[in-house]
Amino acid sequence: MGIQEKRGGVSYDTDSSNDDHRREMMPGMPNNSRQLVTSNGDVILQKMYFLGSEWDSLMEVHHEPIEKNYELLEEIGKGQFAIVRKCMEINTGSLYAAKIMRKRRVARGVAAADIAREAGLLARLRHPNIVSLHKVIDTGTTVVLLLELISGGELFHWTPSGEVEAAHVVRQVLMALSHLHSHQVAHLDIKPENILLSSPPPMPNIKLIDLGLSHRLVPGSEHRALFGTPEFVAPEIVNYEPLSLGTDLWAVGVLTYILLSGASPFLGEDKQETYANVAACQYQFDNEYFSTVSEIAKDFIRSLLIKDPKERGSAESCLKHPWILTESEASNGLGGAMISAVKRGCVEAVSQLLLQGAPLNMKDSKEDTLLHIACEAGDEGMVTLLIENGVDLDTPNKKGLTPLHVAARHGHINVVRHLCLAGCDVDKTNRGIRADVTAIKYGYPDIANLLDKLRIPTQRENYIRQLQPTHRPIDRLHIRLLGHCASGKSSLISSLKSGIFSFGFFRRSRSQNYSTKREPSIELDVTSKHGSLSFEYSDSEYEGTQGVEWSRGNVGGECVFWELCGREEYLASYHYVLTFQQPAVHLITVSLREPLTVQLQQIKFWLRFIVDRITPNSIGFAGKCSDIKVILVGTYAPEPLAPNSSGGNLLAPLLPFLKDFTLILGDDPQMVAVDATNPSSPGLKLLRSYLNNARMEFLEYALDAFRSIPSARYHSMLDIWYEQDGPEVAESFLRRDTPREAAMYVPLANLDKQVDPFLNSFDKSDVSKKNSTFKSALVWTGLAESWRTYVQSLEVPPVMLTQDEFLNEIRKINPLVCLEHSKQLGLQLQNLGECLLLPGDLIVLSPEWFWQDVINWQLSPDQRGRLGGRTTGVYTLEDFQARCPCPASQALQALQAVNLCVPCEVDDDEVEYELPCLNLVERLPGLWEPWKSSTNSLPHAGLRLCPAEAPLYHLSPIFPHLQAQLRKITQTWDPSNSDLYQWWRGSKLCVGPCESIVTFEEEEQSCIEIRVRGPRGSSAQCFGLFSVILDAVNATLDLVAPGMLLEKHWLSPSQLQGYSDVIHSWEPATIVSALIDKNLEEAILKNPINNQEESIWDIVGCGLPMMENCLPGTRQPLKSIKPAVKRRLAEMLDPPDHHGRDWCLLAVRLGLGDRVAQLDSTVDSPTLRLLNCTGTDCTVSSLIQQLRALDRGDAVHLLLSHTPVYVLSMAIDSETGSNLSR
């Protein structure tokens, strides 16, 4: 075949010795195929997929010597624990391939679960293109799988003579995968050696073999793996990310590349380089190999070799690709392929065929045009694509029906809208009958009414004009004000709105005195207990903001102000304010009356609060966030400032202590002090200039994101405007009227990642809709103006609607509106600050209602008296209505969307609602009393989750959300075998015989403490329960504080078993440092309290024997490092170091010195690029060792503090090592 380097492998999957043990998962436990295996090979927790718990029940297993009925012939393959021999049935003379596998004995052989899985898959998933299983024989020491004998040889040894032969083979592979994938089974080892020829070339039939690594990927579960042949593994395997059915399609892309060229796309000089090429998706079509290969074949490969597995489509959709279609319909040419692709509804294939020059005027045997076919099927995406490419809208078919008639006849009202919006003739008749009459005849009066409204040309033009972008950009600036009580937030907003500061805007209390003689200095030691960071304000004359107050104003342009109250009770709701709308300016206010130590504590708290809530996905140079601006504002300046002074020097003493927040403050932090007594305050003028500059920067940022969307039409139009009207007009492209773009069959991975996540609800195959929506969200449309007028005309405007309800309301204004237009309008209104887009397709049309009547009302301390006897925070709908100023059903729906409420089914017809924030129940005594039996041998484990900085108030907003997450998990459990009891800052979760307790502790240092215990023999269940809780913590952080880093301080199990009053905990840096060169059993730590030595496995293992599939966390690849940790590494290593101890020298020490020029960047993080280029053999341990050699103790401590102590793996005897599952 001419491949550059032949890969090893034998037919019939002779080497299926993977220790892929399953575990029986507890209710609610994340299904990630983790295995728990002791050192003696016993399966502690085992989960079989659809095969059942006993594989013997799948088919008859014959317990007899194989020689009794079969004669073993020559050997045709051999592996580590299995051989394949040709055999003949003595009675019939039939030939088979006997795969003989040794049963596992201690550490050698194949596990019974693996044999069961492979046999079960072969037995159940029979297909003409998959090798068939004849019989299973158990000889006692071995298991023999009698397989279909295929004598045509491997695909590896055959080279197709052209694309037709290659497409013929690939089509059969896709058909086999389509069958596997329809049962949610991924093959995970597609390569030429695992494809056998069952008939001779040139057009051979093939059989797919080797199901030894196959897995059933249950929807909603995660399975991570590190196995496979290096050249064929997908990026998600190299990066240790969840596998999917798309993992197989990547291998099909590699296979196709090899079949067409004889070369391997990612093969490097060694495995490390191969993995790096795969991870970076670096390949090209060299002219040496692809000079005669068609573009449509290259496009097929491109469509599969995409880094994001979600964008590779499916095996079924690949079968609709024009390269595959043309193989089976070559005689019809591109026209026949077009008709077939339109009938199949494959937008991608039609897009590619159009690029190849396929005609739009094709008709099928019934004289239907392509548009007729799409309209009859109601395929909106296909109709839109054909319209965008200029298909004729009014061509009649053989029966005289236009596409509009066809759509009306079949009741496809959205297709009718697309046709009318594109300009079809609504008055065109078929034998004197208009389309609206056709709609009435077939029972679709809604279509008839729509067409009737559009018959007036002026009205129709008005509807179309409303849906087109205008010249007016949406440049409304969102300003968020954060600060403690009485720090002047409300007064600052009033001053900014008024245009000048008037005397008395700042509310002053008589109890506050300010000494003007104080020198601006600060002591080096500013550490203190959390008690001094108070959120309360005791002045009886002070009237502060409640929760979040939303308002609008004008500061050099229209602004939306979000004022966040400084009271602790509301902190749990602020995550949504800080994450839903970016970019934004954050003003952190601090009273200059406070001592500098208090000012520093307050500013650091709010800075950390913001950083914790920034999703660390988009990491710029030095970890900076380009769409976040933070300005420090000192209020209550002591005296009138100098005429040309902004008062920034009053906050300057704090700067040396704020270096940890450079990623949002920038290298030159913006600070201002405002003086309430000076009408022409220089501080106010400076603040206004800062806000105006931020507005311009954000507009430029949006323009850059706009440009980055792949669009040939965008660039061509911009070039024309630049030539005709000059650069100023070209740069004002955002304000131009742009038609919808044609859909492009290109990898969606190129779509700019900064597009609002709201756009993800679009069909990912339709790039044009996503791009059009993003662009329209940046400018006004006539529909937005009409909507505002419509809402103002309503006597009782709606406060919240679902997406469908919102669409119906918009259609009262404009009947041509489709779902795409309603989503555009939602984004526009959110950018304007006039609505909120909540999870679950909820649209809040009154932000005041959401924050005041729902969030603020429920969390207000003043409403605690309304709780009555419901101090548990659990309400029926009627009870909740009694304490809610608005309809309870709407309020509860909104609270669920922001994770403050969880519905609980009590009976079949009764639902209660739990709001953990309102749970005021005190902890009951005796919830964690020592058990009467001897506890020294019972499973116990525990840890404390502590923030690296800032104690109490950074975890207190997290805990109610953790309680909500635990309640969500238990909703899927068997209530007779589980129980969750929750109180104020505490939860007790019991499953079977095991118990766990999760509490929020706030003594010397606040933390979340987790303890688990169980009776003798329940170690595995305790370990699983602990995993459930840790997964709940991770899910909570992802939702509420995705940038927060928590350290895991493990508790001494010997003291937990003894129920000591004071229990020693080990810092993660101590534990992980001990694992650099030792395993979990060898690393021993001495408890300084009871002088007992405990191995790290004793500390984390819940009393389990050492599991052979459990590895130290230091051995995981660098791809597994959390994004928040990577952001901190970028902050440390990106800036140039005067001793050269930065990312550049680290790259050299990691063996990537030749890539320094490629990795270098002043926009993106070169450290992050470096980590992404490393191979799987570059582990956290090796990174720590190299950083120590560079004397970068800061980065070393970061990794030691946030590397997991252990990871679970499935040791598979393959080329690439093991499968890390945790």
DSSP string of 964-997?
A: HHHHHHHTTS-TTTEEEEEETTEEEEEETTEEEE
Q: Which of 588, 577, 613, 494 lies closest to 833 in space, CA to CA?
A: 577
Backbone angles phi, psi at 748, to 5 degrees: -70, -10
Alpha carbon 690 to its chain centroid, in Å, reads 34
Residue 98, phi-psi category: left (phi > 0), alpha (psi -120 to 50), beta (remainder): beta
Report the distance separating Cα 137 and Cα 145, nearest Å.
7
Q: Pairing mode, if any, of strands 584-591 and 477-483?
A: parallel
Report the distance separating Cα 848 and Cα 853, nearest Å.
8
Report the distance separating Cα 1011 and Cα 928, nearest Å.
10
Catalytic (active-site) positions: 189
Structure tokens at 365: 């045997």
Q: Which of 547, 537, 481, 484 lies closest to 858 in space, CA to CA?
A: 547
Task: State how far the alpha carbon of 857 is from the alpha carbons of 548, 560, 888, in Å.
Answer: 11, 22, 12
Q: How many CB atoms lie within 10 A of CB 751?
A: 20
3-state secondary structure of 404: helix
Report the distance separating Cα 282 and Cα 266, nearest Å.
7
Q: How many CB atoms lie within 10 A of CB 583?
A: 19
- Cβ atoms of residues 311 and 747 within 8 Å: yes
Burial annotation 72-107 (CB, 10 A radius, 16+ → b, else e): eeeebbebebbbbbbbbeeeeeeebbbbbbbbbeee
Question: Which strands form 1206-1211's sheet, in the order they lie side by side?
Answer: 1110-1112, 1206-1211, 1218-1220
3-state secondary structure of 722: helix
- Cβ atoms of residues 25 and 44 within 8 Å: no
The full 3-state SS of 1033-1076, as one line of letters, equals HHHHHHHHCCCCCEEEEEECHHHHHHCCCCCCEECHHHHHHHCC
DSSP string of 415-468?
A: HHHHHHHHT--TT--BTTB-HHHHHHHTT-HHHHHHHHHTTSHHHHHHHHHHTS
Helix (H), strand (E) at residue 591:
strand 584-591
Helix (H), strand (E) at residue 174:
helix 163-182
Task: State how far the alpha carbon of 745 is from the alpha carbons of 113, 311, 350, 735, 754, in Å.
Answer: 43, 11, 9, 27, 21
Confirm whether residue 659 is marked as ligand binding: no
Task: State how far the alpha carbon of 241 is from the alpha carbons of 224, 252, 477, in Å.
Answer: 6, 19, 37
Burial annotation 412-451 (CB, 10 A radius, 16+ → b, else e): bbebbbbbbbbebebeeebeeebbbebbeeeebeebbebb
Query: Which residues, including other chains, have CB under 8 Å from residue 1212's CB and lie 6 or more apart?
Result: 17, 18, 19, 20, 213, 227, 1218, 1219
- Cβ atoms of residues 589 and 630 within 8 Å: no
Round the CA-based radius of gyration of the chain to a whole number and report it.
33
Q: Pairing mode, if any, of strands 1110-1112 and 874-875?
A: unpaired
Place of tokens 């003689």: 517
- Cβ atoms of residues 525 and 654 within 8 Å: no
Residue 761 DSSP code: G
Backbone angles phi, psi at 457, to 5 degrees: -55, -45
Binding residues for ATP: 99
Binding residues: 99
